[in-house]
Chains A and B, each alone.
Chain A
Amino acid sequence: MLAKLALRNVKRQIKNYLIYFVTVTLSVALLFAVNNLSYSDQIRQQAEQSTDINFMFNLVTVLSCFVTALVLSYVTGFMLKLRKKEFGMYLTLGLTRQNIRILFTCETWIMSLLALLTGIGAGLIIYQFFMALFSNFMEVPFTISAYSAKGLLLTVVISIVLFGISNLMSLRYLKRVTITELLREETVEKSEKRPVLWCVLSVVTVFCLVGSLVITYQSMMAVFHNQDGAELMLWLAVDLLMIFLSHVTLSRAIAGILLKNRQLKNRGTNVFILRGLSGKMTMNSLLIGALATLLVFAVTMSNISFGEKIYADCTVEKECPYDALAMFVASEKQERYMEEGRKCIERYSPIVSEIDYQLYSAGKTTLCSNIMGYREMEWTDKFMPLSRFNALLSGCGYETITLEDEYLVVTNVQGICDVDFSNKAIELNGKIYSWARSSTSYPEFVAQMLYFVVPDEALENMPVSDRCVAYTLKNKLPDVSKMVEELTNIDKTEYATEEYCVFRVREYFRMYYNAMAGTLIIGTLYVATVFVCLALAVLSLKILCTLEDERRRFAILYRLGTDEKTQKITLLKQISAFFLMPFAFPIIMTIPLGITLGKVYEFWGFAGLSGQKAMETAGIITLVIVGVYTLYFFITFRIACNYVVCHGSEPS
């Protein structure tokens, strides 16, 4: 009989508790997708290039389990709260406590197993979506990826363990709770009693938040200027703490302060909305603070990971502006090595054009001694003739430059770029050359972190220190890993690795950076998705938990002459204000984040894509979050509307 009753209740719950079912399904689906990702052959192949990728997927799996456990315990608690009166009634009708526990266990297991099945079904699609995204980042064609039996097994085991734990917690509650407690009405959410105090605290915490964000920005810029950035992590932690505290205080203050405005309060159903909101915010201020912090973390991570992809694309173009570069220290064997390298490259693709260029050095430290660190290491000044520099620039689409009795400082280190050379002139071949400017914006034509471009005549009779060749190839390289392996074997130095080979191959760099950025994006997107869905699910459940009370309150409003439209608007305002509280700041945060990332790109020397690209990325992330938010909001509003709004006939 209990099984029959359980089955009937489940049928009813699927209709009534859509959010519960969707949330559990989504949790399982995301868990299944990430387990498949970590066992994917395609990803494992990429992971061989970096131990960070394996670490990241392990971390994401652990995080997913933690979040899924949280969601499950929360939704099970929600179910219990919704049905506690019914259980109290069963007990008064003569069912034993054991009967109730069996009934609830049957119900939750039927629901959970159904959600497990639908979750795995949804996970199959989400996994392919993530793999398509990964293929896109890797710039390889997408093919339907195989599913992993291990991933499936792991998902089923983890889900069943988590279902079991949350079920045991509920059973423990049902064992101890009294019938009176089950039948008792929920306590009314009390309005905030000290809105002015909380308002003052809000102002203080918001002020501190703005201050800590400014200091964090300054610390970050200090790191880019190679200054001491030890406090950056500390300030990031302070930012998160301040986001949490400002949301806690604001949520407690805002409705109370609005209630002080008599004109606003006495307009239509405003007093009803504000009082309800005040109670909800007071009871849930810690939750709102926690959700806002999680969402800021998700938004920031998404922006940074997409920034990483933009950085990867630009870095490839900057670190390897030609299809292949050969960069040798001038020596007796260099000619032979360069010839071997040339032949190796030609085996993979015909060479369309090549540019020879050199660095010169007289073994002096006149300019390098101006730089801290270089001075101590007695780093020698290296020069590139202007004609060769311009040939390289025009070969990869940059504008050429002119220098008149001047020298240009070319570096890829912002700290060096900031060094003052204005009073540092150099004498070459009897002529004085003054400083023109310093730049980090040019591509890396040589392996040196610092060299100086001077007019050609300044370098007459100066010995060559480095010989380099830039190759433009005809075809896309078919097996770039093999080619780089062969080129590495030509480089006989003890430091030679595939990443630090004297030959730089653009396609190989691209593959390496794409693997890193792709994995980071998949990982952070996954975490962000989980955080956003968790936040929305919790908010929805919070709203749906109180529907019974709201139904009663709206029935009174109806009797007092509030029409259906006004009721719907009132409900809409109530739900959207509660939903918006933890979401507003993370969404607004995308603007300063976009600006900051734009600044970071500038410091990396990608001035061309600074603000715009970062803002585009931030805009897309915001749109996706707003889309998911709207979906959850709409479902919650529809359910609440159907349940709460009174129209036409007598409300119960």
Chain B
Amino acid sequence: MNTLLETKNITKFYGSGETISKALSGVSFSMEKGEFTAVMGASGSGKSTLLNVIATIDRPSSGSILIEGRNIAEMREKELAVFRRDRLGFIFQEYNLLDTLTIAENITLPLNLQKRPVRETMELLHKVAASLEITDELSKFPRQLSGGQRQRAACARALITQPALILADEPTGALDSANSKSLMQMFEVMNERLGSTILMVTHDAVMGSYASRVLFFKDGIIWNELHRGNRERQAMYHEILNTMAVLGGEAHVS
């Protein structure tokens, strides 16, 4: 397997002087292509900060982040925008769909930004919509869909450019348990059948159990790490709960 993401000793500080606070205190880890990794930890542990610096929407104070061998910490703003557009896919808790656009327009917007031909765009749209079972919803506006359907649309938008890495920030945070389960099964499909590499931040042990690897954060560092290996998901779930109990965090267990 090839290394897709490699972070080396990342730190991130906010504020200055006496009011300085450390969000990341030297985080190093790597991800292989096709890996599904979950990041868990209590509020303020630094997991969202990590996601933001990898997503290039925030810059680390020091350290390097290599995605496909390119150090994004050294890229200029314009290069970052292009990199974000072409190589990264995003899925957020609040879906982040544009309310003025139809679902089809939301999904194809990243391709429009890449200036892809219309015919190719339409082909990719129908392919991704079919695989995520949202073909019937394409002409609707986000406000006309349920939370689960909106999150599927957000996934379709993240997948359509075939990014190197999909970043998901609490993707089930606004969903009920049925929709959360459905979404996680879809993540499994994206990971196993479509070969997507996924880095997901979550509080939820059930959601974490779908990942092949879980990183536990505490006070800005990787405190522990679990690998699913050949274990059943249920076994992974119990392992996560045990780890969280030791971690003593305030993670929510559903």
Residue ranges of A at the interface with B (Cβ–Cβ < 8 Å): 188-189, 191, 262-263, 265-272, 275-276, 278-279, 549, 553, 555-566, 647-651
Residues of chain B contacted by A263 (CB below 8 angstroms): 118
Max chain A C-beta neighbours (<10 A), residue from B58, B97, B105, B109: B109
Partner pick for A272 among B81, B88, B109, CB 8 A cutoff: B109
With A271-B101, A275-B105 as contacts: A561 and B110 at CB distance below 8 Å:
yes
Closest to A273 in B: B100
- Please, how many angstroms separate the alpha-carbon atoms of A563 and B109 in the complex? 14
B52-70 interface with A by 8 A CB criterion = 52, 55, 57-59
With A262-B118, A553-B100, A561-B85 as contacts: A268 and B113 at CB distance below 8 Å:
yes
Q: Is B82 positioned at the interface, with any CB of A under 8 Å from its CB?
A: yes
CB-based contact B59/A648 at 8 Å: yes
With A268-B113, A269-B112, A564-B77 as contacts: A559 and B105 at CB distance below 8 Å:
no
Closest to A647 in B: B77
CB-based contact A188/B100 at 8 Å: yes
- Please, how many angstroms separate the alpha-carbon atoms of A271 and B109 in the complex? 8
CB-based contact B110/A560 at 8 Å: yes
Q: Number of contacting residues on B, CB 8 A?
A: 34
Q: Is B170 positioned at the interface, with any CB of A under 8 Å from its CB?
A: no
Return A90 CB to nearest CB of chain B, in Å: 25
CB-based contact A272/B115 at 8 Å: no
Provide 27 A-B residue pairs closer than 8 Å at the C-beta atoms, listed in order of the A residue: A188-B143, A267-B115, A271-B112, A272-B100, A272-B101, A272-B109, A553-B98, A553-B99, A553-B100, A555-B96, A558-B57, A558-B81, A559-B55, A560-B85, A561-B81, A561-B83, A561-B85, A561-B110, A562-B113, A563-B77, A564-B77, A566-B81, A566-B113, A648-B59, A649-B58, A650-B52, A651-B57
Partner pick for B90 among A559, A563, A566, CB 8 A cutoff: A559
Q: Is B239 positioned at the interface, with any CB of A under 8 Å from its CB?
A: no
Q: Is B228 positioned at the interface, with any CB of A under 8 Å from its CB?
A: no
Residues of chain B contacted by A561 (CB below 8 angstroms): 81-86, 88, 110, 113
- Please, how many angstroms separate the alpha-carbon atoms of A271 and B99 in the complex? 12
Residues of chain A contacted by B231 (CB below 8 angstroms): none
Closest to A649 in B: B58
Partner pick for A556 among B52, B55, B81, B96, CB 8 A cutoff: B96
With A266-B112, A553-B100, A556-B98 as contacts: A271 and B105 at CB distance below 8 Å:
yes
CB-based contact A560/B57 at 8 Å: no
- Please, how many angstroms separate the alpha-carbon atoms of A555 and B108 in the complex? 17
CB-based contact B77/A560 at 8 Å: no
Residues of chain A contacted by B113 (CB below 8 angstroms): 268-269, 560-562, 566
With A267-B112, A267-B115, A268-B115 as contacts: A560 and B100 at CB distance below 8 Å:
no
Residues of chain A contacted by B58 (CB below 8 angstroms): 649-650
- Please, how many angstroms separate the alpha-carbon atoms of A279 and B99 in the complex? 11
- Please, how many angstroms separate the alpha-carbon atoms of A221 and B74 in the complex? 72
CB-based contact B118/A275 at 8 Å: no
Given contacts A271-B101, A566-B113, could you give 17 more A-B pairs where the C-beta distance is less than 8 Å? A267-B115, A268-B112, A268-B113, A272-B98, A275-B100, A275-B105, A276-B100, A279-B100, A549-B99, A553-B98, A553-B99, A559-B55, A559-B57, A559-B96, A561-B86, A565-B78, A648-B59
Max chain B C-beta neighbours (<10 A), residue from A275, A549, A561, A564: A561
Residues of chain A contacted by B98 (CB below 8 angstroms): 272, 275, 553, 556-557
Return A122 CB to nearest CB of chain B, in Å: 38
Return B137 CB to nearest CB of chain A, in Å: 17
Residues of chain B contacted by A562 (CB below 8 angstroms): 81, 85, 113
| Interface membership of chain B positions 187-212, coded 1 if the CB is closer than 8 angstroms to chain A and 0 otherwise | 00000000000000000000000000
CB-based contact A560/B90 at 8 Å: yes
- Please, how many angstroms separate the alpha-carbon atoms of A566 and B81 in the complex? 10
With A269-B112, A272-B109, A650-B58 as contacts: A563 and B100 at CB distance below 8 Å:
no
Closest to B85 in A: A561
Q: Is B121 positioned at the interface, with any CB of A under 8 Å from its CB?
A: yes
- Please, how many angstroms separate the alpha-carbon atoms of A189 and B55 in the complex? 31
Return B48 CB to nearest CB of chain A, in Å: 10
Return A555 CB to nearest CB of chain B, in Å: 8
Return A281 CB to nearest CB of chain B, in Å: 12
Residues of chain B contacted by A557 (CB below 8 angstroms): 98
- Please, how many angstroms separate the alpha-carbon atoms of A566 and B84 in the complex? 14
